[in-house]
Every structure is written in structure tokens, then in C-alpha cells.
């Protein structure tokens, strides 16, 4: 016995044959696509943090030693947590790198606020 699977067509597919491809692209854009396919993808090349080190990091801070005894910084922005790519010789070096990261991040936010204020000032002076 031969079983032929037929695609179910909706009214929109019959009226517009390209609609199903469009809908598939739109669903993938919004993250509604095939979840089984997406689960196989690995979005990062970073080294994953072992669960015991991740738990310890949540209690004691994001700077921890990895299994080899090297100081690393844990990123909890991803799930599962990942190590930063950098390796540090001491805890103070890792702390310096983390503080530089946060300083740079806040400097970018400050520059964005200043630029926005300048744009608003320019708009108000043009309107007058």
C-alpha cells in the first residue's frame, strides 16, 4: 500500500500560490518557525559553563575559576550561561576587564543620550 501525503491548502494558498512561502518567512522572522529545527542550531561558539560553576557564580559573582583553574567571566545573558572568550591570570585582571566593559557600556549610553538631546534641541530651534 502506497501512502501519498498531500499538502493541505488553505483558501489563501489557492488564491495566491506564493502566500505559504511568504508566511513561512514571516514566521521565521518572528521566531515562530520550526522549533525542532531551531533547537539544533548553536548560536554561539563560546564555551558553556558547567552547572556547578554556574550555580557558584550566581551566589558569589560572575568571576570564577574554570575546571582548569583559569579565571573566567561568566555571561548569564544566554541560556545556558557561557564563559567570555578571554582567560585571565588573576582575579584582579578579570575584575578590571569587567569594570572596563561596564564603563564602556555606560559611556555609550551617555553618548546616545547626549546625541538625542542635541537632535531634540536642533528640531526645536528649526521649528521656531
pLDDT tens digits, the chain, 128 residues: what are they?
565 555 555 555 556 555 555 555 555 555 555 555 444 445 567 889 999 999 999 999 999 999 999 999 999 988 899 999 999 999 999 999 999 888 887 777 788 888 888 888 777 766 65
In whole angstroms, give the CA distance from residue 86 to residue 73.
Answer: 8
Number of helices followed by number of strands (H, E) in the chain: 5, 3
Q: Comparing C-alpha atoms, which of 50, 52, 61, 60 is closest to residue 83?
A: 50
- Model pLDDT, residue 112: 81
The DSSP H or E segment spanning 39 is helix 35-40
- Model pLDDT, residue 40: 45
- Model pLDDT, residue 63: 95
- Model pLDDT, residue 4: 57
Q: Comparing C-alpha atoms, which of 84, 76, 85 is closest to residue 58?
A: 76
> What's the predicted TM-score (pTM) here?
0.53
Which DSSP symbol is given to 88?
B
Which DSSP symbol is given to 69?
S
- Model pLDDT, residue 21: 54
Amino acid at each position: 500500500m502506497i501512502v501519498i501525503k498531500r499538502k493541505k491548502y488553505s483558501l489563501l494558498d489557492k488564491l495566491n500560490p506564493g502566500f505559504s512561502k511568504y508566511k513561512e518567512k514571516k514566521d521565521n522572522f518572528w521566531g515562530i518557525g520550526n522549533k525542532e529545527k531551531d533547537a539544533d542550531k548553536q548560536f554561539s561558539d563560546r564555551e558553556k559553563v558547567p552547572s556547578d560553576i554556574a550555580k557558584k557564580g550566581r551566589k558569589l559573582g560572575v568571576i570564577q575559576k574554570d575546571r582548569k583553574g583559569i579565571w573566567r567571566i561568566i555571561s548569564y545573558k544566554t541560556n545556558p550561561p557561557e564563559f567570555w572568550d578571554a582567560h585571565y591570570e588573576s582575579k584582579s585582571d578579570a575584575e578590571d576587564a569587567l569594570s572596563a566593559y561596564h564603563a564602556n557600556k555606560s559611556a555609550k549610553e551617555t553618548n546616545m543620550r547626549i546625541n538625542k538631546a542635541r537632535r531634540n534641541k536642533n528640531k526645536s530651534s528649526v521649528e521656531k
